[in-house]
A and B are shown apart, each in its own frame.
Chain A
């Protein structure tokens, strides 16, 4: 079945550091790929998405590119801020009629000033 593997952390960075969170997936065909973020005390919020190969999703300075050849969707940000401290989840929705999201385990990021 479909699955997502991501870096688990936790990770602590200093403000303005470069961030990469690796995410790889296993799925047949062309799934849609997502990054969700969960800030303390809040629900999962969609951060960005990509629905076909080579698409780049971007939002709030974060980027991820759908790489079919490496089955990856790594999340990057050039300069993190304290406000980026959160848990980050990579997820996919399989091709076809299924609506369910399949999530990675999530990675907790703490950014220190």
Chain B
């Protein structure tokens, strides 16, 4: 069964460093999403992406964040200058043209020191 994959599974970085989290969505899907879950808190929507542009973003998704689909298979989330409070599990998701169901990857656990 097709699945969303994410790399790395864990990443440790120093405050102020840039990180890029990578996702490979399901191959025929058109809509892509990033969510995050800070430890002990709810899963929160960050951004949705369609047709090579952001279609919706939350107030969390400020200028420090960016997303890109650099080729036909990858979808990336970049955090330009990480803060301690960016430590969280980051989930990528994708959906097909119907958009009814979002399929999630296993997540990347980011720790900012």
Contacts and interface: CB of A to CB of B under 8 A. Distances in A.
Interface of A: 32, 36, 41-46, 49, 51, 89, 91, 98-106
A100 B48 contact: yes
Most buried by A among B58, B93, B104: B104
Interface string B87-113: 000010101000111111111000000
B101 A44 contact: no
A44 B100 contact: no
B45 A51 contact: no
Most buried by B among A98, A100, A101, A103: A100
Interface residues of B, number: 27
B56 A49 contact: no
Contacts, number: 52
A44 B43 CA distance: 10
Given A49-B101, A99-B31, A99-B56, A43 B106 contact: yes
Nearest to A45: B104
Interface in B1-27: 3-4, 6
Contact of B55 (A46, A99, A102, A106): A99
A91 B102 CA distance: 11
A46 B102 CA distance: 8
B105 A43 contact: yes
B41 to A, nearest CB: 7
B4 A100 contact: no
Given A43-B91, A46-B101, A49-B101, A100 B41 contact: no
Given A44-B93, A100-B48, A101-B102, 20 more contacts: A42-B106, A43-B4, A43-B91, A43-B104, A44-B43, A49-B100, A49-B101, A51-B100, A91-B43, A99-B31, A99-B33, A99-B56, A100-B45, A100-B56, A100-B58, A101-B35, A103-B42, A105-B42, A106-B42, A106-B43
